[in-house]
Amino acid sequence: MKGGDDRVLTSVKGNALRHPAVIAAGAAALGALLVTNALAFMRGMEAPWLLGVVILTDMLVIGVGIFVAAREVVTAEHETEVSRGRLQAILDSAMDAIITVDDSQKVVLFNRAAEQVFRMKKDEAMGTQLERFLPQRFRGAHRGHIEQFGSTGVTSRRMGDVTTLWALRADGSEFPIEASISQAAEGAKRYFTVILRDITLRKGYEDQLKESQQELRELSARVQEAREEEKTRIARELHDELGQLLTALKMDLSSLKENLPGEALRAKADEMDRLLDQTVGATRRISADLRPLMLDDLGLVEAAGWLVEDFGRRSGIASRLQLSGGEALEGLAKSVSTAVYRAIQESLTNIARHAGAKSAWVTLAVQEQWILVEVEDDGRGIAPEDLAKSRSLGLKGMRERISYLGGSLDIARAPRGGTRLRVRLPLRLEQEAAA
């Protein structure tokens, strides 16, 4: 290391003799010497010894001045070289790759991390075009993006905020990166610096996570579908088999009442008849809650109308349904109609349990190729922390079901002060559109 410093000092001393400060000091010394000699010569006739003293004194002063100036120049240039070396060491110690290019997008700085990331030596990279490190398909638009950034006047920004950026190694392999770009001017020249990081490992984990999430969504959808099928089966058994048995029992009881002697027995039969009516009503209600048969038999519009009307009657909350584009809702896929119906049902259930509302409004509409559902109330409203509760399984299950079908769900405060739920679902699923 000491040998390298000696070489630097030798080079600096050689350059110091040509430094403007040294030249100026030499010129000043020469002028002073000429003036001194002239004065000494004029008086030298009277005192010859004075001439020698003056000349020696001036030469000593001038020599000291030149020495001091030369030493300052050497020290300044040495410090500059040391600063450059320190800066390069800092850049080489950075974990992220750093590349600087000039106006023509030629590489003027390439740190050690860039060598490792792109698997290319610094000497090979210096002076090459930046597009050498980009896949061919991105090179056409890259130069325009850099020029546009240079004209904005923004000093720095993140690159590729939406899409993943890709770079090219020396061996021709591509890899994903995240990067930021900054610009700086030095006189009439402009320099662009890109700081980038190889995110191959992280992107691999992200892809695995997305794949796992998709598998979980598909599994959840299959579970929901199985639950709906089981609910449908139980609802039909309740409606058809148990309902028929209860109806037959009611007919037999009516026939029996006519032949019963005594008021006490007939009163008891009347009480049994009322219990049978309640049982039949409860059976129909349970069957409808499990799976309204009219959703499969008559469609979403009729089922939604019955649901809102039944909710208002049972809860005492004034409920209204506004329908738009009902013709387009005919022939929906079973999964779509079920998702819409369950979203309305879950929203109304939450209103009855938690909202303390007096009124509820349900809107079911079709706009272009989307089904829009909006359920609003004038109750106390839902707090953000309520949405994050672990017990909010109904809302979470609803969100997953709608997300799997390509839709979206949004819950927020309503203008009337309560809660507003909005659902947006495609009118036709992708597989149906493809068919």
Distance, CA of 317 to CA of 308 (rounded, Å)? 10
Contact 243, 283 (CB under 8 A): yes
DSSP 173: -
- Closest to 363 measured CA to CA, from 298, 406, 414, 398: 414
Residue 26 has what pLDDT? 56
Tell me, yes or no, if the pTM score tops 0.85: no
Contact 138, 147 (CB under 8 A): no
CB environment 170-207: b (16+ within 10 A), e (fewer): eeeeebbbbbebebeeeeeeeebbbbbebbeeeeeeee
Residue 11 has what pLDDT? 43
| 45: three-class secondary structure by DSSP | coil
Residue 79 has what pLDDT? 61
| 221: three-class secondary structure by DSSP | helix
Residue 114 has what pLDDT? 92
Residue 433 has what pLDDT? 45
CATH class of 94-198: alpha beta
**What kind of fold does domain 294-435 have according to CATH?**
Heat Shock Protein 90 (3.30.565)
Domain residue extents for the chain: 2-92, 94-198, 201-291, 294-435
Distance, CA of 328 to CA of 224 (rounded, Å)? 25
Distance, CA of 372 to CA of 362 (rounded, Å)? 11
- How far from chain centre, in Å, is Cα 348? 33
Q: What are the average pLDDT values for consecutive 10-residue runs of the chain, which has 435 residues?
A: 40 49 57 58 54 60 61 62 70 86 90 92 92 88 77 70 82 91 86 90 90 84 80 81 84 82 83 87 82 82 90 91 83 86 89 87 90 90 65 71 87 83 84 46
- Closest to 168 measured CA to CA, from 195, 135, 138: 135
Residue 121 has what pLDDT? 93
Residue 141 has what pLDDT? 81
Residue 133 has what pLDDT? 92
Distance, CA of 416 to CA of 351 (rounded, Å)? 14
Distance, CA of 402 to CA of 393 (rounded, Å)? 14
- Cα–Cα–Cα angle for 274, 277, 279, rounded to 5 degrees: 110
- Backbone CA torsion sign across 153, 158, 161, 166: positive
